[in-house]
Amino acid sequence: MDFFVGYDNCAYHMQPLPRRLLPALARDELAAHKLHVAETYINKAGMRETAEQIMEAIHGV
């Protein structure tokens, strides 16, 4: 007996993605995540440069 049969045949609506679409979906999600990380987080070199600029500005006051 299929698990979804008792639930008004919901299995029809919960079909998994075809296997050929999974690599493209994973690639798109990874690209979106990489873009988010690049836009949101700063690397150590960038942090040092920013900290140096802030310290120079403070010393100039």
* 7 within domain boundaries: no
* 10 within domain boundaries: no
- Between the CA atoms of 25, 33, 36 and 51, what dihedral angle is there, to the nearest 10 degrees? -160
* 6 within domain boundaries: no
* 46 within domain boundaries: yes
Mean pLDDT in residue range 11-18: 61
* 9 within domain boundaries: no
Residue 39 exposure: Cα atoms within 13 Å on the Cβ side:
6
Residue 52's pLDDT is what? Answer: 93
DSSP state of 48: H
Helix ranges, the chain (H): 22-40, 44-59
Number of domains in the chain: 1
Domain that holds residue 48: 17-59
* 40 within domain boundaries: yes
Q: What angle do CA 9, 13, 18 make, to 5 degrees?
A: 125
- Using the predicted structure, report yes or no on whether residue 29 has a pLDDT greater than 60: yes
